[in-house]
Amino acid sequence: MNNLNSILIEGNLVRDPELSYTPKGTAVCKFSVACNRQWKQDDQVQKEVSYFDVSAWTRLAEVCGEYLKKGRGVRVVGRLKQDRWTDPEGKPHSRVEIVAEHVEFKPQKKADADPAADAAAEKPAEDSEVETEAEQEEEKEAAGF
């Protein structure tokens, strides 16, 4: 029986994702997510940022590579994977990453999605909202939702 290994994080991409393929042709997309946390302590707001490396595989990797960009909000559900190795000098190393099983794309403003959105800003607000909803539906369909 497998032990429980599940994680859920929400945050924003630190940089554009990197889509690549293994020698056997399997898609893999790697990206980093920043998660912000703040709390109040002694009448002062304390802030903390954590950074997590994420990898997505196969069709999910291709969808992430196509639609995700730096700054985009995501919710990632997955599992933790630990890699261990010893460098040539004999020093042991370890790294933990999240292997994504599900990625939700947070809604984004039209201006964030398209640098040429200044021209679209002249359209009535209702038209812009319809386009944004249509794009979100297209993204969900591509991701298999």
Topology at the third CATH level for domain 7-106: OB fold (Dihydrolipoamide Acetyltransferase, E2P) (2.40.50)
Task: Give the tens place of pLDDT for each residue, 38-92.
Answer: 999 999 999 999 999 999 999 999 999 999 999 999 999 999 999 999 999 999 9
Average pLDDT, the chain: 83
Asked whether the CA dihedral 60, 81, 72, 37 is positive or negative, the reply is positive
CA distance 90 to 104: 40
Per domain, the residue ranges of the chain are: 7-106, 109-145
Beta bridge partners of 57: 28
Collapsed DSSP state (helix, strand, coil) of residue 26: coil
DSSP E strand stretches across 42-120: 44-57, 73-86, 92-105
What global pTM score does this model have?
Answer: 0.72
